[in-house]
Amino acid sequence: MNKLTLVCFLLTITRTTVPAQSTEETAIKTVIERETQSWLNRDAYAIARCWAAVSYATHLGLRTDGKAFFSTNEQGQITQTIRNVSLQAAQPDRSTFANSDNRIRINGTSAFVTFAQLRTAPEGHVEQYYQTRNMEKQQGSWQIVHASALFRHPENK
């Protein structure tokens, strides 16, 4: 096998096993990361900018205390809930986070995203969440129309 054939073969394998991340996927991940960082910063206005201002937006989750929550954006409930929670926290959360196992399905101006998120508190306590986002591209920007977050208790392996 000559060197040129070998190089072409290796490039083909690399190209098929390591797909390039699209600009749209990068933009979607950026919105999700901005939303999480804004949540940790307790910045309600920055969080709200990540969400589409539509009446059909919904947020569903299971908190670390085991309690579930669900809110819709009819009459601005999601925005109000975000503001209330942000105001209740005296200080920003200094935890760091890392998203992994991103699975993004884009269909025109809609996207479905699943991912795992690890949050690490300054003292080292780690929490894991499984999350989904439904997003829409509105006026050239990706925005969240649905979010769900499920806390994975460490005892549930």
Q: Is residue 107 part of a domain?
A: yes
Q: What is the pLDDT of residue 14?
A: 41
| Structural domain that includes position 120 | 23-152
* CA atoms of 116 and 135, how far apart (whole Å): 17
Q: Is residue 16 part of a domain?
A: no
Q: What is the pLDDT of residue 2?
A: 61
Q: Is residue 3 part of a domain?
A: no
- State phi, psi for 74 to the nearest 5 degrees: -60, 130
Q: What is the pLDDT of residue 26?
A: 97
Q: Is residue 6 part of a domain?
A: no
Q: What is the pLDDT of residue 75?
A: 67
- State phi, psi for 148 to the nearest 5 degrees: -135, 145
Q: Is residue 5 part of a domain?
A: no
Q: What is the pLDDT of residue 89?
A: 67
Q: Is residue 61 part of a domain?
A: yes
Q: Is residue 36 part of a domain?
A: yes
Q: What is the pTM of this model?
A: 0.79
- Angstrom CA distances, 111 to 24, 31, 73, 134, 148, stand at 10, 12, 19, 6, 14
Q: Is residue 49 part of a domain?
A: yes
CATH of the domain at 137: 3.10.450.50
Please name every residue paired with 127 in a beta bridge, in sequence order, or none if there are none.
Answer: 119
* The total number of structural domains that make up the chain: 1
Listed in sequence order, the DSSP H helices in 51-114 are 77-88
pLDDT by residue (tens digit) across 49-60?
999 989 899 988
- Given the DSSP bridges, would you call strands 58-62 and 141-152 parallel, antiparallel or unpaired? parallel
Q: What is the pLDDT of residue 98?
A: 96
pLDDT-flagged residues of the chain (< 50): 6-18
Q: What is the pLDDT of residue 76?
A: 72
